[in-house]
Amino acid sequence: MTWEIFIKWLPSFIEGAWLTLQLVGVSVVAGLIFAVPLGIARSSRHLAVRALPYGYIFFFRGTPLLVQLFLVYYGMAQFEVVRQSALWPYLRDPYWCAIITMTLHTAAYIAEIIRGAIQNVPHGEVEAARALGMSRAQALLHIILPRATRIGLPAYSNEVILMLKASALASTITLLELTGMARKIAARTYLHEEMFLTAGLIYLLIAFILMQGFKLLERWLRVDACQGR
């Protein structure tokens, strides 16, 4: 691939990378917000409280993201009630279908990360909080969740990287994110190997930046914890 061709198609690759970042950024943030109550419920001692989150997590962790994406994008349109609802302008748009599916998918994994992190908070810290007169809600808010954040952050960073790679599946529903854009350019230039290699290198660069960012965040949280002591 000559530099002239690379420079010509570079804006298109940047456009695809920007769409990829949108899909991943929105889904992992929205998924985290959705996963917090799910993870807390999953760590409950009461079977009735953790049963529904367990079913949700079991489904989304046990089925492929591609199948989930097709169910939302192609399957929802089969129901008249959906086509007549206020949600139809979003559910017929591949962008929002990808956002919704990726959010629901990653929320299941993040909820399990949160559950594991909560259950790994040292029991002595929880007992100390209760001994100081904190209620369960206060202990959860001021002791358990901040501690669980530090414990679960490495696993959360891995989930973000996995979602970055999984976002390539959005190209199957016509979205021109990074993989979709590479496929489109390859079809026009017949330089399949070069174009997909370029897309792979861009994915690698984004993953590297994300990993470095999470390392800085982990270091900051450790420093903050030491200062708090």
Interval 46-74: pLDDT, tens: 888 889 999 999 999 999 999 999 999 99
- Residue 125 pLDDT grade (very low, low, confident, very high; cuts 50, 70, 90): confident
CA distance 208 to 30: 22
- Which string of DSSP letters, residue by residue, matches 162-229? HHHHHGGGGGGGT--SHHHHHHHHHHHH--HHHHHHHHHHHHHHHHHHHHHHHHHHHHHHHHHHHHH-
**How many CB atoms within 10 Å of residue 79?**
11
pLDDT the model gives residue 159: 97
pLDDT the model gives residue 126: 80
CA distance 185 to 189: 6
pTM over 0.85: yes
